[in-house]
Chains A and B, each alone.
Chain A
């Protein structure tokens, strides 16, 4: 029911470092109605053009400055992913994605104290690398 908050239209782009494209980023809101510490995020699952991204290639940042791998995030209680704050997902991929349209699917899974099962948000969008 918060699926509409998963995957933003903005912020889908290749990332360059020292003159080389090292991967790409996408942005998403939390698929919930409040902010939570990053340790309460179980996982992100990303599929681009039908190919599932392996989890060690994924990093997440709630503030655009501090990036954590999914494994590191399990112990991150200091930083919160605030409601209304676009979270940034970085995918490591040398050369990035080709210019043009890509089908991107994102699944977010978080743990909520009063719900016995993981809380999941999912969305698929056609996004463009310009």
Chain B
């Protein structure tokens, strides 16, 4: 067996990209500079007109990967089911959108597409022949707040177990393994006026549960939490609070043969060189025990919690997480 490989999702550099500090080529060059093997891309983010990307842009993509010796690993795709404001797309329309994405992934040299959580499951089986023909696997993202318990994910895993195809699997987002509530998220909202007692309440109950959705939704919210909500911002904080989960690693046991890829979330790499919330040592040990030899791709998301006047520094955060991965893997 080989060992765990690392990649970086260019999602990590979204702030630098939107502000014109880094181009797509700069991002790939950065990966080369820090000895990263693979790249994950959101075509809707860094390629124009996706999924109908111009041939010259496809050519340039391959030339850039070749120049810096980076392997294309995973294409993160979205089915725009709400394309129109007066209806949800039909099965046939969604299927066509998925097929277009599979064709683009193939052109980009990707053998895997990440289907965003809540992707309609009724199109998977119908897209399978094309996925097989193009050698592109389809994997649903298991993401906090939309992980294994929700009906849409369960519907997908039921189909996955039924089909038993190497072209249908899962991408696990490690935000489901947050051992404590991300500090950067809390500080960002505190700075905007979040009620301090509410933040402390969430921190505390977070530690006591694998998932706090039942506590944060209005229908089942405990009265003592309700009393702490004093503003729209407080309400928003509670709505977003179940976007992190505290699951044991062995929740993956049942799904392990179908796991195609991991998103290695980074909210905050601390000065000690570890992620503040996620126990990566534990996760990598679990994966080593399973002989996992696929990729884990850095997905830095702390940038959205940058305090006013503070520049996002995804480059340093990604480097720190990759350094940590290398230490744990070797």
Contact = CB atoms under 8 A, between A and B. Distances in A.
B314 to A, nearest CB: 12
B305 A1 contact: yes
Given A84-B17, A113-B78, A34 B305 contact: no
For B20, B46, B79, the residue with the greatest tally of chain A CB atoms inside 10 Å of its CB is B46
Given A1-B305, A111-B85, A83 B45 contact: yes
A33 B44 CA distance: 9
Interface in B110-132: 116-119
Contacts of B146: 114
B45 A37 contact: no
A113 B85 contact: no
A interface: dominant SS: loop
A29 interface: yes
A4 B44 CA distance: 20
Given A42-B85, A74-B85, A113-B118, A82 B48 contact: yes
Interface size class of B (residues with CB under 8 A): 20 to 34
B68 interface: no
Interface in A18-63: 29, 33-37, 39-40, 42
A113 B79 contact: yes
A5 interface: yes
Interface in B248-306: 304-306
Contacts of B83: 37, 39-40, 77
15 contacts: A1-B304, A29-B18, A33-B14, A36-B44, A77-B83, A80-B48, A82-B48, A83-B44, A84-B17, A84-B18, A111-B85, A113-B81, A113-B119, A114-B116, A114-B118
